[in-house]
Structure 1
Amino acid sequence: MARSARLIPLLAVLAAVMIAGACTTTRSSGGDSGGGSGPIKIGLVTKTESNPYFVKLRESAKAAAQAKGAELIALAGKFDGDNEGQVSAIENLVQQRVKGILITPSNSAGVLGAIKEAQNQGIVVIALDTATEPADAVAATYATDNEKAGELLGQYTKARLGPKPPQIVAMDLDPSASVGIQRHNGFLKGMGLPLNTPAIIGSALTQGDQTKAQQAMENLLGRTADKVNVVYNINEPAARGAYQALKSRGLQSKVFVAAIDGGCQGVQDVKDGKFVATVMQFPKKMAEGGVNAVVTYAQNGTKPSGFIDTGATLITDKPVPGMESQDSTWGAQNCWG
């Protein structure tokens, strides 16, 4: 009887431990986005955190996720071209057990391995804004046709120049970034120029950064100030930098500054006469399409596929015959919609 009495407290302790362990396991599994009771987790990896374009993309993705009852986890590289930072972000999201990853790849070759590993874990990966190379490295791409956007800008600039021979300074992105290559080549195509054209009298790699573009333009004007009549820009921050450099030399009224982005500030720059035109993109459409596709995949396993063109619209207050465009009033109402 005494021995049985001593066993009763021991059995009670063991039972309590087993119950506590079972409760801990239940709470842990409840937060699993891969089929538990928690919200669907969606990862977003942008090229940078501070570029206004990617800020808008992130805000739109967050709003779309909230509307679907999902959770968005947003990470980014430190700068445009930070492949290591994007790889670390993808690995981080895999560890957090997201159901899908939306990525704007800086250099797709640098992140293909990480994308493949995520897919091996059952995660759907979708490109936004920038296609991967090869395109089928991801399930689908929601983006601007960047070559077409460049072509629109080139066609318009050529029409505005008229018979004047173009003397172009190019504020480019990075030789390894597909979006920069596509826009640059598309612009030359629209201008009716070959890729190796001598009409480009100067160029610089800006990483799409306003300060870098301004410094580069100031340097280039040392030998091109008496010639340049067109500045092509990979995006609007680069265009603002180029414009400031031109203004400091009193050349802003003699040179066509042309850009691609369509942000609200860029539209205002068109209205103010700083930019001759910009080509508007629609990152909200990209973000919403990507988020909705991940939610659908989480719910029934259906993956999106192919390239989904989210559109590009020429914005200018000085239209030319034969080209579709919208003015800055329309642009202000629709910027980055």
Structure 2
Amino acid sequence: MYVLRFTALAASLFATGLAMAEQPVIGLITKTETNPFFVKMKEGAQQAAQAKGAKLLTAAGKSDGDNAGQVTAIENMVAAGAKTILITPSDSKAIVPAIRKAREHGVMVIALDSPTEPVDATDALFATNNYEAGVLIGRYAKSALGGKAPKVVMLDLFPGPAVGAQRHNGFLQGFGLDSLPATSNELARPAQVVCAADSFGDRAKGQTAMENCLQKAPDVNLVYTINEPAAAGAYNALKNAGKEKDVVIVSVDGGCEGVKNVGGGVIAATSQQYPLRMAALGVEAGVGYATTGKKVSGYVDTGVKLISAKTVPGVESSDVGTGTKLCWGKS
């Protein structure tokens, strides 16, 4: 009897160990731990991993632009047995050699939100069409100005990431100003842009950048920002200068706090993205690869929607209520 019990226990332990060994291991590497966009992305990955029975490893750079931190995270995840790595690359070019090494070890790598350069350095890209996101807020801004000559301040990310160029140039294209195509990593600088500065997608740095631009261009009437934290910083600078009612601010992201700021008049309009969906789809693809050995490939558009408190002629948008229901969830 004891032998039978021991044999049954051994078989149970073996089966448990086998199941654990076969559990898909998926890594998620974001640009930072603190940006609400990436917090929501991590949440989406955790929810999907739990639902699919996968083990999720997570890591992030110390700050936006920390390529070395992301390289280390890739190496650690490969060593830990990850068969799929999802990454929002901080430096679209510098991260490529580390991604190449991971793929040589049989790891499927999917870029989320931001493409690498070249795009095919990863197996796939799950992201918003960032150029289209820029176009949408550009069209809104043009109508909102009501025929006034634009005097534009552009608070960008920082040089390098393709996502920054795509949103920047898309905004100019949507407004009808001289721009560059979605494939360009250069930033167009038409004469109507009276000041441009890097905000690093940060509220405090966005405020400082806006304060500096007000010194150069006090008669600004339109502000484009790379994301909503930078937009909040820009608004603070304008409010401190007594100019917040004279300037239209548009942005990209569509986070819950950002949509709240649209309702509160801080931001006129924002292009809403869905990072939770990006991550969930990435985890599902990773589990599929672990199960079937089939990799995903190409670009998957995860959607974008223009959110505004006030409608403007000729531009379709959804209201704040809709934006609140959808903020960073599944579109």
TM-score by length of 2: 0.90
After superposition, give the CA deviation of every residue in 1:195-240 in whole Å (9 maximum; x if it has no partner): 3311111111111010111111112212212x10001000000000
Aligned counterpart in structure 2 of residue 138 of structure 1, from 106, 117, 122: 122
Indicate whether 1:209 and 2:202 are aligned. Answer: yes
Query: Structure 2 regions of 5+ residues with no counterpart?
Result: 1-9, 179-187
- The SS at the match of 2:306 is strand
User: What is the one-letter code of the residue matched to 1:161?
Assistant: L
Cross-structure match for 2:245? 253
* 2:143–2:314 CA contact under 8 A, matched in 1: no
Cα distance in 2, alignment partners of residues 289 and 218 from structure 1: 40
Cα root mean square deviation, aligned: 1.6
Query: Which residue number corresponds to residue 170 of structure 1?
Result: 154
CA distance in 2, matches of 1:84, 1:181: 22
Distance 2:128 2:208 in 1: 29
Matched, 1:239 2:231: yes
Runs of 4+ in 1 over 3 A off after TM superposition: none
3-state DSSP class of the match of 2:110? strand
Q: 216-225 vs 243-252, which deviates more?
A: 216-225
C-alpha separation between the residues in 1 aligned to 2:22 and 2:110? 22
Match of 1:153 in 2: 137
Shift of residue 109 of structure 1?
0.9
Per the TM alignment, residue 108 of structure 1 is displaced from its structure 2 partner at its CA by: 1.8
Post-superposition shift, 1:38?
Answer: 4.6
| 1:80 matched to 2:64 | yes
The structure 1 residue matched to 2:189, chosen from 192, 196, 212, is 196
Q: Which residue of 2 aligns with 1:65?
A: 49
CA distance in 2, matches of 1:256, 1:322: 17
**Structure 2 equivalent of residue 3 of structure 1:** none
Gaps of 5+ in 1: 1-22
Question: Which one of the candidate residues 298, 314, 319 is aligned to 1:322?
Answer: 314
Q: Matched residues in 2 for 1:180 and 1:77: separation?
A: 18
> How many residue pairs end up in the alignment?
308
How far 1:133 sits from its partner (Å)?
Answer: 1.4
CA distance in 2, matches of 1:208, 1:196: 20
| Alpha-carbon distance in 1 for matches of 2:211, 2:83 | 47
Q: Which has the larger radius of gyration?
A: 1
Per-residue displacement from partner, 1:138-181 (whole Å, max 9, x unpaired)?
11110000000001000110011121010001110011011001
Give the % identical residues: 51
Shift of residue 37 of structure 1? 2.8
TM-score relative to the length of structure 1: 0.89
Q: CA deviation at 1:39?
A: 2.1
- Tell me what 2:285 maps to: 293
The answer to whether 1:127 aligns with 2:111 is yes
Is the 2:222–2:249 contact (alpha carbons within 8 Å) kept by the matching residues of 1?
yes
- What displacement does 1:284 show? 1.4
